[in-house]
Chains A and B, each alone.
Chain A
Amino acid sequence: MRSASDTGAAEPGGGGGPAVVAAAPAGAGAPGGDRVAAADPVGPAEARRRERRSRRYRRDVRWSPYALVAPFFLFFAAFGLFPLLYTGWASLHQVELTAPNEMHWVGLRNFSRLLSDEFFWNALRNTFTIGVISTVPQLMIALGIAHLLNYKLRGSMFFRVAVLTPYATSVAAATLVFVLLFGRDYGMVNWALGQLGWGPVDWQNGTWTSQFAVSTIVVWRWTGYNALIYLAAMQAIPPDLYESAALDGASRWQQFRHVTVPSLRPTILFTCVVSTIGATQLFGEPLLFNGGAGATGGSDHQFQTLGLYLYEQGWVNLHLGRASAIAWTMFLILLLIGAANWLISRALRKETT
């Protein structure tokens, strides 16, 4: 009996699910009953009971995995899929937040008008430049830190936790501190510049200065996170590679360049993609960098990102349809980034094999 139930358990997992189900009704009939009776002489009532139990068991094995994964899909449908589709639907309408149920079909007008919307292009440009000046230094510094952490040091755990602490800080708290640091009149950065004999910089008002300030917040928060990812990947590099490199007389720097970096290539690509997606969605830092002044991203919209522009259209100006169109455009941009990533990683794989 045990062995019979064992095979029953093993079979659905092995992909034989349908077969078992098909067998189940047959098993209820005479031949199956015969087999059971032959192997283990019991009364027909007992056989039926066992049969019922095993049927219940098989049903359990077949369906409970679905029940167990269902919460994820339900949540995904409710909070992922539905908003995505609804946003897409809304983007084809003129909808105001004052009356979200009144939708007027406008086709692709919300998208086509983005093409001539200078605020949109400005936001796209800002998102790109802030993304570049935050992602590039961030990943380079992270690589350097990971390399240092990869040495045998005392208290390495402490340092690893320490680099991650900025990541654990809330965006709001970090940004508020940075706003004070980059203050024009009483900020610490300007004070330090003053000590060096340079004039005060109006960080918030200049295009490049404000974007630089915003990106320092991003760099500060995410560098440690990326460093730990790199560190994890570095530790998977076989030590004999370094040993043989050392035997060949390679310096630390040469080891880093010729052993570490090539081995990390897939990881670097991964962090690039994740950081790029993060940069595309940049929102909290520029919003709070402008404090109580709303989502304009500075008086000249000089650090208004796509995320901020979406928020301004949807939740300040209350144009849900236009905001939805921006959201979908951002989604398409992310898909493009994903496609580019796929192409690059395929090219890399070809190169290495």
Chain B
Amino acid sequence: MRTRTRTRARARLSALAVVAALGASLLAGCADDGDSKDSSPGSGSSGGSGGGGAKTTLTVGVFGAFGLKEAGLYDAYMKLHPDIEIKQTSIERNENYYPQLLTHLGSGSGLADIQAVEINNIAEVTATQAGHLEDLGKVKGVDKDAFLPWKWGQATTKDGRTVGLGTDIGPQGICYRKDLFAAAGLPTDREAVGKLWAGNWQKYLAAGDRYKAKAPKGTAFVDSASGVLNAITGSGATRYYDADGKVVYKSNPAVKEAWSTAASFATHGLTAKLQQFQPSWDQGFANGSFATVSCPAWMLGYIQDKAGAAGKGKWDVAAAPKPSNWGGSFLVVPSAGKHRAQAAELAAWLTAPAQQATFFEKRGSFPSAKAAYALPAVANARHDYFGGAPIGQIFAKAAEGTPVQVLGPKDLIIAQNLADVGMLQVDQKGRSPEAGWNAAVKAIDNALDQ
């Protein structure tokens, strides 16, 4: 009897302890939130030394290591505008960042003066949140003609309001290992490699077959079938939605063709059966377990990071079979912000061609302003790690060749389920392409259904 009452008491105590711990973490969470929220008006008033020298603090909310800050653009702007102070808050992953952005837009609070939006979300933001966002198309310093037309169009509503200004884009090339290509008897010069598959993804597959015939032991031609799928769908004008905004991925022949081509990489045994952005993928770079990967401009730094010093001089980059885009971002200015005019001005400056060129030079994020391509920072850009490849020219060509792609609000979910559910089953579990397709469709139907 005694033991029981004691353990009860102890149970209650530990329950209390749990409650206390939860409470503490809650409070800590609130405190954090409060801090970040307060930072704009609070530091604005404290920094403002009363009189005319009051500083305006602009906040920028981004996801991941977005790079604007790291490229020194904020510092440069603050030097030009001594009355402005820029603060950045970052949330590591877009999947955590984006839902929060939506709830904040809905409630009109907790927003930064400028918010970043990923390309996969921009159609949804443009379609559903335009009422909460400023029209940046007419802001002073914004030059519509400087941007790639497809990039400009992606953040413009049907009634002509442009709610987002493009920062970077993700034109793709094919990054390949020269040493593995040489060992398999394929050309290693980037011009010749580009010609191997120029104009047709089927030729890329054929090159894979050739590679496999004499492949160095333990290596595969590509990292993953999902990566190939991503690259191919990035090169089509329509993919998941038609121009009227209807979901058409099931019937779109372009998607079907992309599916079967990508699945062939798996069924031909050309993939290393990896999943992108998983630790095992990183290890694949480090260990050289695959010879090619379709790489948007922003991925070069990632490859350099993961393949490390051992990979220097081995990697190179060639043109992709077809111009294609993967990724990129926009800046939007929420209407709930206190300093909308200054924020819009900052967003315009950050996305102006000269700054985009700097952004590319420092961070490798490729400009969405085609006016930047002629600037020396882009036109003359070469990448040491990739054998001095003229990446500025390669990616500019891809960017200009990319078709105006029809985007839809649920692009991300459709793409994710096709790649991470359907194609992954084909690639890693050895399911048939049909079975993988059906699994993806089932998951997408469940996700899109209200």
Q: Are A and B co-members of a single complex?
A: yes
Give A223-237 as 1s and 0s: 1 = Cβ < 8 Å from B's Cβ atoms: 000000100110011
- Please name the residue on chain A nearest to B273 by beta carbon: A184
| A349–B3 CA distance with the chains assembled, in angstroms | 12
A209 within 8 A of B: no
Q: Of A183, A237, A315, which is within 8 A of B279 by CB? A: A183
B445 to nearest A CB, angstroms?
10
For the complex, what is the distance from the CA of A205 to the CA of B275, rounded to whole Å?
Answer: 11
Known: A296-B421, A300-B439. A100 touches B278 (CB 8 A): no
Query: Which of B68-76, B204-212, B282-290, B303-311 binds A?
Result: B282-290
**In the complex, per-residue mask of A274-312: 1 if CB is within 8 Å of any chain B CB, else 0:** 000000000000000011111010011100000000001
Cross-chain contact B284 with A185 (CB below 8 angstroms): yes
Interface string of B1-45 (1 = CB under 8 A from A): 111101110110010000000010011000000000000000000
Among A237, A291, A319, chain B packs the most CB atoms within 10 A around the CB of A291
Q: Nearest chain B CB to A152's CB is how many angstroms away?
A: 21
Query: Which chain A residues lie closer than 8 Å to B413 at the CB level?
Result: 316-317
A296–B287 contact, CB under 8 A? no
Contact A291 B278 (CB under 8 A): yes
Q: How far is the CA of A202 from the CA of B425 in the complex (A)?
A: 13
Contact A94 B450 (CB under 8 A): yes
Within 8 A of A (CB), among B192-224: none
Q: Which of B7, B289, B425, B443 has the most CB of A within 10 A?
A: B7
In the complex, which range does the number of interface residues on chain B fall in?
35 or more
Most central of B278, B287, B413, B417 by chain A CB within 10 Å = B278
Contact with B along A184-223 (1 / 0, CB 8 A): 1110000000000000001001000000000000000000
Given A263-B3, A293-B278, A300-B439: A98 and B11 within 8 A (CB)? Answer: no
Whether B446 is near chain A, meaning CB under 8 Å from some CB there, is yes
The answer on a CB contact under 8 Å between B280 and A232 is no
Asked whether, in the complex, the Cβ of B7 is within 8 Å of the Cβ of A233, the reply is yes
Residue interface bits A104-129, CB-to-B below 8 A is 1, else 0? 00000000000001010000000000
**With A291-B278, A293-B420, A319-B450: A300-B429 Cβ-Cβ less than 8 Å:** yes
A236–B279 touching, CB < 8 Å: no
Q: Is A57 an interface position by the 8 A CB rule?
A: no
A291 touches B275 (CB 8 A): yes
A270 at the interface (CB under 8 A from B): yes
Interface centre among B8, B279, B287, B428 (most CB of A within 10 A): B279
Complex-state Cα separation, A88 to B416, whole angstroms:
30
Q: Is A23's CB within 8 Å of the partner chain B? A: no
**Counting CB contacts under 8 A, is A176 at the interface?**
yes
Contacts of B1 in A (CB 8 A): 353
B129 within 8 A of A: yes
A205-B428, A300-B425 known; A294-B420 Cβ under 8 A: yes
A interface residues, tally (CB under 8 Å)? 49
A158 interface contact, C-beta 8 A: no
Say whether B106 contacts A101, CB under 8 Å: yes
Whether A79 contacts B26 by the Cβ 8 Å rule is yes
Q: How far is the CB of A150 from chain B (nearest CB, A)?
A: 14
- Complex contact B10–A232 (CB within 8 A): yes
Q: Is B102 an interface residue (CB 8 A)?
A: yes
- Asked if A164 is an interface residue, CB under 8 A from chain B, the answer is no
A202 CA to B428 CA, complexed, in Å: 9
Chain B, residue nearest A237 (CB): B3
The answer, yes or no, to whether A335 is at the interface (CB within 8 Å) is: no
Shortest CB-to-CB span from B359 to chain A, Å, is 24
A349 to B, closest residue via Cβ: B4
A97 within 8 A of B: yes
A337 to B275, CA, bound (A): 38
Say if the beta carbon of A340 comes within 8 Å of chain B: no
Residue of B nearest to A262 (CB): B3
Is A67 in the interface zone, CB < 8 Å from B? no
Distance to closest chain A CB from B300 (angstroms) = 18
Closest to A268 in B: B7
Query: Which residues of A are found within 8 Å of B289, using beta-carbon distances?
Result: 185
Enumerate chain B residues within 8 angstroms of A316, measured Cβ to Cβ: 95, 413, 416, 447
B103 contacts the other chain (CB 8 A): yes
Indicate whether A299 sits within 8 Å of B429 (C-beta atoms), given known contacts A98-B128, A100-B103, A186-B283: yes
List which B394-426 residues lie within 8 A (CB) of chain A: 409, 413, 416-417, 420-422, 424-425
**C-alpha gap A75/B14 in the complex (Å):** 20
Q: Are B283 and A236 closer than 8 Å at their CB atoms? A: no
Known: A296-B420, A300-B429, A316-B447. A291 touches B3 (CB 8 A): no
* Cβ-closest chain B residue relative to A104: B450
Chain A positions within 8 Å of B23 at CB level: 72, 75
Contact between B278 and A97, CB atoms less than 8 A apart: no
For B96, B103, B280, B443, the residue with the greatest tally of chain A CB atoms inside 10 Å of its CB is B280
- Shortest CB-to-CB span from A272 to chain B, Å, is 12
| A145 interface contact, C-beta 8 A | no
| Shortest Cβ distance from residue A174 to the other chain B in the assembled complex, whole angstroms | 14
Task: Please give the distance in Å from A244's CB to the nearest CB on chain B.
Answer: 16
Which single residue of chain B is at the shortest CB-CB distance from A228?
B14
| Other-chain residue from A183, A296, A314, A317 in contact with B280 (beta carbon distance below 8 A) | A183
Q: Which residues of A contact B103 (CB under 8 A)?
A: 97, 100
Complex CA gap A119/B444 in Å reads 12
Q: A100-B102, A233-B7, A300-B439 are in contact. List 13 more A-B contacts (CB 8 A).
A: A94-B450, A176-B279, A185-B280, A185-B287, A205-B429, A237-B3, A290-B278, A291-B278, A293-B275, A301-B421, A301-B443, A315-B95, A316-B95
Binding site for A on B (CB under 8 A): 1-4, 6-8, 10-11, 14, 23, 26-27, 93, 95-96, 99, 102-103, 106-107, 124, 128-129, 275-280, 283-284, 287, 289, 409, 413, 416-417, 420-422, 424-425, 428-429, 439, 443, 446-448, 450
Sample (5) of A-B pairs whose CB atoms are under 8 Å apart? A97-B102, A229-B14, A266-B7, A315-B95, A316-B416
Q: Which 7 A-B pairs have the closest CB atoms?
A: A292-B277, A299-B424, A291-B278, A317-B447, A98-B128, A315-B99, A100-B106
